[in-house]
Amino acid sequence: MDFSKCTIGFGITGSFCTHEKIKKEIKKLVDKGANVIPIFSYQTQQCDTRFGSAADFIKDITSITENEGIRTISQAEPIGPNNFLDVMVIAPCTGNSLAKLNAGISDTPVLMAAKAHMRNGRPLVISISTNDALGINFKNIGALMHMKNIYFVPFGQDNYKAKPCSMIAKTELLPETIEMAMKGKQIQPILR
């Protein structure tokens, strides 16, 4: 896949345990020629966790993409009127972000970017990572799956014994999901 003519907005939310995988997927997209514009949630910008420091993660992403990215709601809002993204990805997409997206809440840079981007009728790709996908967020996943121009990276349970409601996207399928979404199609099967 050649993404050399593709500008991808890449929203990163707080599922910190997946951030290393996300870095690798962003690198793959850049290596395929994509212009990746990172969009950082407030939690991603501020929270140091057992998985690493926020500053180091942001430094790595900006180095990989060669783009400082979008860090505020006011920086995200012009995505709509300027219509410069071919596709937007939210990866990882937490249960909190899923719920807010489904409810039309845009109180973070990532969610404002998604709202602004969707007004242009272009694809939004969601890569879930949530411990309550088969719990309270199941309804949000179902509702978003039926919305026009929203596509999901295939996902499945990541630890059904210890976390029976948890699901995570197969991030290695992100490039194929983006390619299909840009053609207006959902990659199949979704559940893997």
CATH number of the domain at 74, please.
3.40.50.1950
- What is the value of pTM for the model shown? 0.96
> Is 2 among the domain residues?
no
Please tell me what DSSP assigns to residue 17.
G
User: Distance between CA 169 and CA 166 in Å, rounded?
Assistant: 11
CA nearest neighbour of 129 among 168, 157, 96, 155 = 168
Task: Tell me the per-residue pLDDT of 115-156, one tens digit each, with 9 for 90 and over.
Answer: 999 999 999 999 999 999 999 999 999 999 999 999 999 999
Q: Furthest-apart CA pair in the chain: how many Å?
A: 46
> Is 1 among the domain residues?
no
Please answer whether residues 152 and 128 qualify as being in contact, where contact means their C-beta atoms are separated by less than 8 angstroms: yes
> Is 81 among the domain residues?
yes
Q: Is the pLDDT of residue 16 over 90?
A: no
What confidence tier does 47 reach under pLDDT thresholds 50, 70, 90? confident
Residues near 74 by beta carbon (within 8 Å), at least 6 away in sequence: none
> Is 189 among the domain residues?
no
Q: What is the pLDDT of residue 31?
A: 97
* 162, containing H or E segment: none
| Rg of the chain over all Cα atoms, to the nearest angstrom | 15
> Is 148 among the domain residues?
yes
> Is 102 among the domain residues?
yes
Structural domains in the chain (count): 1
Q: Which residue has the tokens 């505020």?
A: 72
Please answer whether residues 177 and 142 qualify as being in contact, where contact means their C-beta atoms are separated by less than 8 angstroms: no
> Is 140 among the domain residues?
yes
Q: Which residue range is the domain that position 36 belongs to?
A: 7-182
- Do strands 167-169 and 155-157 pair parallel, antiparallel, or not at all (unpaired)? antiparallel
> Is 44 among the domain residues?
yes
Mean pLDDT throughout 65-92?
97
Q: What is the pLDDT of residue 190?
A: 96
